Amino acid sequence: MLRPLYDWAMRMAAGRWALPAMAGVAVIEATFPFVPPDVMLAPMVLARRERAFAYAAVCTVCSVLGGLIGYAIGYAATGLAMDLFAMSGRMQAFRDFQCLFAQWGAAVIVIKGFTPVPYMILTLASGITHFSLPVFVGASLVTRGGRFFLEAALLQHPQARAFVDRHLLTLVVAALVLIVAVFAGLHFLEKPHC
């Protein structure tokens, strides 16, 4: 079942609507619970590796634009932002962010923006706490851009697609294990002291 899904994703990634769809996903994911844009970026880079860094740039800019929307919602419509946290089951994540933010400031955005933690938590919470907008934008550009450009750099290698084709199941299992380990590690390490 994994192989047909992978083949379908590769066909879609080379299609003409892939770039606008990825841009839309990057904007939406920064404000609402949604799939991360990496899910589209990876197959797009594998399908058209000569466009890897252009895709990463679009993904970064759209993610930060979505982050600004999330920041604005948190800043100007705190009730709506709190409803989004409650609706997505992320209320505890918001409380943890508040404690961590009080302890670490911008470092929280830099660290969490690079991990698989939903970006919406950072964007909405940064607006609610009235975090410095220029610092928020700068930290978001660094972390989101770092993540997307690193992904593009790794996947644009000439042998990347052949490697993924040969080891698809192993890579999917390894990615799932890594994501679980990152979440478990973050949960263990970030016990707030508030």
Q: What is the mean pLDDT of residues 9-35?
A: 83
Q: 3-state SS of the chain?
A: CHHHHHHHHHHHHCCCCHHHHHHHHHHHHCCCCCCCCHHHHHHHHHHCHHHHHHHHHHHHHHHHHHHHHHHHHHHHCHHHHHHHHHHCCCHHHHHHHHHHHHHHCHHHHHHHHHCCCCHHHHHHHHHHCCCCHHHHHHHHHHHHHHHHHHHHHHHCCCCHHHHHHHCHHHHHHHHHHHHHHHHHHHHHHCCCCC
Stretch 116-124: mean pLDDT, rounded?
82
Name the more confident of 186 and 119.
Answer: 119
pLDDT of residue 56: 96
The pLDDT value given to residue 116:
65
Which string of b and e fits 27-50 if b means at least 16 CB within 10 Å?
bbbbbbebebbbebbbbbbbbbbe
Task: Quickly tell me which residue has 């016990």 as its tokens.
Answer: 191
How far is CA 44 from each of CA 1, 8, 15, 99, 141, rounded to the nearest angstrom? 20, 12, 9, 37, 21
Give percent above pLDDT 90 in the chain: 26
For position 71, what pLDDT does the model report? 96
Residue 180 has pLDDT above 70, yes or no: no
**pLDDT per residue as tens digits for the range 39-52:** 888 888 988 889 99
Higher pLDDT, 7 or 141: 141
Angle 45-48-54 from CA coordinates, rounded to 5°: 65
Residue 171 banded pLDDT, cuts 50, 70, 90: low
What's the whole-model pTM score? 0.78
Which pLDDT does position 175 carry in this prediction?
64
| Residue 193 pLDDT exceeds 60 | no
Rounded average pLDDT over 56-83: 94
Query: In this predicted structure, what is the pLDDT of residue 31?
Result: 85
What is the CA 35 to chain-centroid distance, rounded?
Answer: 8
| Token pair in block for residue 102 | 């009080």
Q: Which two tokens stand for residue 165?
A: 């084709």
- Report percent pLDDT > 70 for the chain: 76
pLDDT in tens, 96-113: 777 877 777 777 777 776
159, pLDDT greater than 90: no
